[in-house]
Structure 1
Amino acid sequence: MPLLFLNEKSWGRTCDKARAEAAMADFVDVVRAVADEDRSGTSLVSEVELKSLDIADGYPVGKWIGGSPKNHVRWQRLLALRNRAPVRSVYPTPDADDHLEYRYEDATVVGMGAAHFMDGVAVSLPVAPSWSTSSVTLDRRELVELEDGSQEFEHEAVEVRHVSAVPHVDEHRSWMRRSALARAATGRQIWEHKEDLYPHLQFLPRTEAQLSDLDPRWVVPVRRCLERLDAAAADWDAAVAPEPEWRSRVTPEGETRKRVCRFEDVDGEWRTFHLHARFTPGAGRIHFRPVGEENRIRVAHVGRKIRPDL
């Protein structure tokens, strides 16, 4: 079950008590609708504990709970779910997103950014029209290492899954019902279920050790990168184009570095796998080559940038 990340920007807004009451009722319904897919596996993740939040400006959760028996029942329904805080408590390592910043309307967003980074779902209190949508576009700012070793920030518009009303949950229900393995939590899980997760990718035997020992900070970024490569391969017709239409940034190695990208292929021949996609934090690389006769992509390296002495 994906994690539900609370959009902190939807709380503590200025609105009247009646609107706040209705929004909380809707919020509980939405969270429980998600939980109905997997009650034991659903967690609501927030930067601070729910009981510390203000539903609206000057209207704290505690006051809402005591406002009526119905509100107390709704609160008990929320308490049936695990509330985890702060957001980084669910990261593979506390510093896993130190290279990233997510912004919405020029303001940093913690919860929605975490939902994208951890491949989860953002959930908002429906107090403003901005949150009446099943996806939200964020500006993702990422510190990446360039081929010459220097670093720079790259900007990218990304879509995060979002719910604030039960119909939004219905839009994401098929995704939520996918096997938990589709959200593999370790590199070893990626390796063991690679045929199911990435049917259009092939992996050299050497990548088993690399994935099995994958840095926990890299599991989600590698998973995302492989998903994009698989999607590109799925739409590729080698008779029409020599390469797939890439869904992420893919670049070739320069001539002087191609020699460090030669690996023994599945047939025993040594070939150059100089095309690569990048992932962060750090200088993460996935090296591969398109195999036109099979309309597949063959992966040879998953790990740090290959150095000439390795």
Structure 2
Amino acid sequence: MPQLFLNEKSCETTADPDRVNRSMTEMVKAVLAVAREDRAGTLLVSREPVKSLQLAQGHAIGKWIGLPEAKDLWRRLLILQAKWPYREVYPEGETYSDVEYRHGEEVTEGLGAAHLTGGLGVSLPVEPRWDAERLALVREELLDDGGSHVTRVEVPHAARREHVAAHLPWIRRGADTARQEALAGLRSGAELWGLRADLFPLLQFTPLAEQHFAELHEVWVRPVGERLGELQDAVSDWDPVRQPVSPQWRSHVRTEFQNRRRLCWFPDTDGEKRLFDWHCDFLPSPGRMHFRLVHEDRTLRIAYVGRKLGV
């Protein structure tokens, strides 16, 4: 679960309103870039409720929400899990009252919480010091003898969407682990279908695909889930401009032979029949999944899963 801790110090500036609004937009895009990799697991942690945030002195979040270009970002941000204050995500009974973190001369509670819990700090890049992939902190821990132990540490951090790229391996490892744990307990295609939005948020499905999932044999449920995970990972990296044909697939994916394409026409989301001839296999043979690429949405849409068509 990628826990993102909002750095409260980045919200205490006196910058001009336009700069503050641009910085909030950049930070929200970074948060959503993390959520794109693991929507179900992404948790935004802040000092106070997100709706009550002050983005700068005298600059309430409502001033940013009111911007036309912020409306969709705000809607998507509200969908994410959120908690406040920081201590709500600490282990039960733990307060960490004997540990303090500083960036420069300032105590940074949010960035400290990120380091304590293995999370990621996020900031508004209003000031250059917050515009970085990693931030150096001074950690001071009180000892039982009345002394203290001081160390220098780093915390992973993002203030812009571009910063998230440096942390993708960590985010994906966590998402993959959570996905594998969820798949391990499934016994039916209907259960897998019910979790599709949480486990595979980037993939699309036709309305009739639900029926095919419901008819899956139990032995196919986990292999299908694993293939869906590979497809999810492939489209998460896909740039149709640089890769106009297809994403970089994680398993053996190909289009159907010409003489079999007549079998691959299915009703799409608008009811029109379209060709879904891209496909992949899953074991035990002859399991097949059919889909088509949706370049304009940078994803793919699945129409069929089950026994190889025509066999």
Sort the TM-score into its range (normalised by shorter chain).
0.5 to 0.7
State the superposition RMSD in angstroms: 1.9
Secondary structure of the corresponding residue to residue 41 of structure 1: coil
Give the distance between the partners of 2:85 and 2:70, measured in 1 at CA: 25
Provide the C-alpha distance between the structure 1 equivalents of 2:153 and 2:115, rounded to a whole number of angstroms: 8
What's the offset of the Cα at 1:20? 1.5
- Residue number in structure 2 paired with 1:161: 156
| Structure 1 residue 155: Cα displacement | 0.2
Aligned to 1:133: 132
Match of 2:35 in 1: 35
Instruction: Tell me the matched-pair count.
Output: 178
2-side partners of 1:179 and 1:62: how far apart? 33
Given that residues 6 and 45 in structure 1 are in contact (C-alpha distance below 8 angstroms), is that contact kept between their aligned partners in structure 2? yes
Indicate how the Cα distance of structure 1 residues 94 and 164 shifts in structure 2: closer, same or farther if over 3 A, else same.
Answer: farther
The whole-number CA distance in structure 2 between the counterparts of 1:93 and 1:108 is 24
Task: Give the counterpart letter for 2:27 in structure 1.
Answer: F
What's the offset of the Cα at 1:181?
Answer: 9.4
CA contact (8 A) 2:41 2:175 kept: no
Task: Tell me by how many angstroms 1:99 deviates.
Answer: 1.9
Cα pair 2:131 2:160 within 8 Å, conserved: yes
- Cα offset, 1:63, TM superposition: 2.4
Question: Normalising to structure 2: TM-score of the pair?
Answer: 0.54
Q: Residues 73-124 of structure 1, C-alpha deviation per residue, up to 9 Å, x if partnerless? A: 2211110111200100011125331221111112211100000000000000
Change (3 A) 1:179 1:54: closer
Aligned partner of 1:90: which letter?
V
CA distance in 2, matches of 1:53, 1:85: 11
- State the alpha-carbon separation in 2 of the partners of residues 152 and 180 from structure 1: 40
CA distance in 2, matches of 1:115, 1:154: 19
Superposed displacement of residue 21, structure 1: 1.8
Distance in 2 (alpha carbons) for counterparts of 1:78 and 1:12: 21
Q: Find the counterpart in structure 2 of residue 63 from structure 1.
A: 63
8 Å CA contact 2:133, 2:157 repeated in 1: yes
Distance 1:5 1:144 in 2: 26
Match of 2:82 in 1: 83
Hey, what's the Cα distance between the residues in 1 that align with 2:79 and 2:97?
32
Paired residue secondary structure (2:9): helix
Give the counterpart letter for 2:2 in structure 1. P
Structure 1 spans left out of the alignment, 5+ residues: 184-310
* TM-score of the pair, normalised by structure 1: 0.54
Deviation at 1:5, TM superposition (A): 0.3
8 Å Cα contact 2:7-2:122 kept in structure 1:
yes
Question: Given that residues 12 and 53 in structure 1 are in contact (C-alpha distance below 8 angstroms), is that contact kept between their aligned partners in structure 2?
Answer: no
2:98 paired residue number: 99
SS of 1:70's equivalent in the other structure is helix
Q: C-alpha displacement at 1:151, in angstroms?
A: 4.5
2:209 matched to which residue of 1? none
Which 4+ residue blocks in structure 1 deviate beyond 6 angstroms? 180-183
CA distance in 2, matches of 1:65, 1:179: 31
Aligned to 2:165: 170
Superposition deviation, residue 173 in structure 1 = 0.7
Q: Secondary structure at the match of 1:137?
A: strand
Given that 2:121 and 2:156 are in contact with CA atoms closer than 8 Å, whether structure 1 keeps it comes out as: yes
Q: Quote the Cα distance in structure 2 between the aligned partners of 1:33 and 1:180.
A: 13
Structure 1 residue 69: Cα displacement: 2.8
Counterpart Cα distance in 1 of 2:63 and 2:26: 18
2:38–2:171: 8 Å Cα contact kept in structure 1?
no
Partner letter of residue 86 of structure 1? P
Aligned-pair identity in percent equals 44
- Separation of aligned partners in 1, 2:60 and 2:15: 13
Q: Partners of 1:94 and 1:72 in 2: how far apart? A: 39
For residue 182 of structure 1, report the CA deviation from its aligned partner.
Answer: 8.2
Contact preservation (8 Å) 1:28, 1:77: no
Residue 111 of structure 1 aligns with which residue?
110
Given the superposition, is the C-alpha separation of residues 64 and 167 from structure 1 closer, same or farther in structure 2, using an over 3 Å criterion? Answer: closer
